[in-house]
Amino acid sequence: MGRRNFFLSLKRLTATARLVKFEHTVFALPFVLSGAWIAAKGVPETVDLILLVLAAVFARTAAMGWNRLVDLPFDSANPRTASRELITGALSVSFVKGLVMLCSLGFLMTSFLLSPLCGWLSFPVLIVLLGYSYLKRFTFLCHAGLGVALGLAPAGAWLAVMKGFAPGWDIPLLLGCGCALWTVGFDVLYAIQDVDADRAANLQSVPSRWGVDKARLFAGILHGFSLLMFFWLGFRGEFSQPYFLGVGGCLILILLQHVLLLGGRLSRIPVLFFRVNSWFGVVFFAGVVADIHFRSSFDILGP
């Protein structure tokens, strides 16, 4: 009996990871770490680092779980999403509701442990995280909700390490804006897969409202502005070559993503969404870390 319960628990854990796309945590986490590294001008305190990672995982799991719950009627009618765990019965609605509540509480608790200011600010942030799932019912600019949710992450990490607002607050603002614009761009591209299903369900998105070609153009413009923010951040923060090499790597990944979608090869979107975008944040973070540690080695970071 014990062995059977173990395998049932393992099966449920695996289904939960699939439900919330746990592997997609690599999209936001590098930007959270970037915000922390920039604020600390090096490796953050171990406790802060652990709490930030936990807060990011809790926040994302709560948001994704809630998204699956509120989108359940639409997912069941969409061939692409009809095999999701809530629809097949691999996970129950009550289990996912409990997961969302638990992770929401975990996010609030870890935020308060980081600092009282982070704790109080975590309440409106949680509203954004849970609320963006409803936006596509009302506006084709729903992608901006996800962008704001992810863009708050690196800015929040900076605030957590600094323990409050401090001079140089425009640096996390630029980082958050760059992350948000990048997120909105790739979410627009990802929504291209669901054009027909969204139109049938009367759901709003840039592709369903304006068509595939204009959606790709819009995403390209957003990605261009995202890179502009990252370059602006580099100049504002007086970063050096390693950082700009990292941003250059991000530029190459963006170009690769858009080139591979030329000619209507939309079947590549799921692969591009994970493989290219997962490397984007990693490359950016690597540039930040390399730059900060390069500068600290030569004592040019300042106090």
Q: What is the pLDDT of residue 155?
A: 95
Asked if the model's pLDDT at residue 81 lies above 90, the reply is no
Boundaries of every domain in the chain: 15-297
Q: With 80 as the cut, is the pLDDT of residue 1 above it?
A: no
pLDDT band at 16; cut points 50, 70, 90: confident
Please give the average per-residue pLDDT across 53-64, as a whole number. 95
216-225 burial string, b = 16+ CB within 10 Å, else e? bebbbebbeb
Whose structure tokens read 């929401």? 104
Q: 244 pLDDT exceeds 80?
A: yes
pLDDT higher than 70, residue 265: no
Would you put residue 133 in left (φ > 0), alpha (ψ -120 to 50) or beta?
alpha
Selection from 218, 301, 285 nearest residue 247 by Cα = 285
Query: What's the confidence (pLDDT) of residue 13?
Result: 80
CA atoms of 274 and 298, how far apart (whole Å):
37
Q: What is the pLDDT of residue 296?
A: 64
pLDDT of residue 63 exceeding 70: yes
Residue 15: the pLDDT is: 82
Q: What is the mean pLDDT of residues 245-253?
A: 96
Fold of 15-297: Tetracycline Repressor; domain 2 (1.10.357)
**pLDDT tens-digit readout, 211-230:** 999 999 999 999 999 999 99
What's the rounded Cα separation, in Å, for the pair 56 and 244? Answer: 26
Asked if residue 100 lies in contact with residue 69, where contact means CB atoms within 8 angstroms, the answer is yes
HEC string of the chain equals CHHHHHHHHHHHHHHHHHHCCHHHHHHHHHHHHHHHHHHHCCCCCHHHHHHHHHHHHHHHHHHHHHHHHHCHHHHHHCCCCCCCHHHHCCCCHHHHHHHHHHHHHHHHHHHHHHCHHHHHHHHHHHHHHHHHHHHHHCCHHHHHHHHHHHHHHHHHHHHHHHCCCCCCCHHHHHHHHHHHHHHHHHHHHHHHHHHHHHHHCCCCCHHHHHCHHHHHHHHHHHHHHHHHHHHHHHHHCCCCHHHHHHHHHHHHHHHHHHHHCHHHCHHHHHHHHHHHHHHHHHHHHHHHHHHHHHHHHCCCCCC
pLDDT for the residue numbered 157: 96
The confidence band for 9, taking pLDDT boundaries of 50, 70 and 90, is: low
- The per-residue pLDDT for 301 is 47
Section 270-286 average pLDDT = 84
5-31: average pLDDT: 75
Q: Which of 230-239, 249-258, 261-270 has the lowest mean pLDDT?
A: 261-270
Q: Is the pLDDT confidence value at 6 over 60? A: no
The pTM of this model reads: 0.90
Quick: pLDDT tens for 170-192.
Answer: 999 999 999 999 999 999 998 99
Q: How many CB atoms lie within 10 A of CB 238?
A: 12
Q: How many CB atoms lie within 10 A of CB 248?
A: 15
Q: Poorest-confidence range of 134-138, 204-208, 258-262, 273-277? A: 273-277
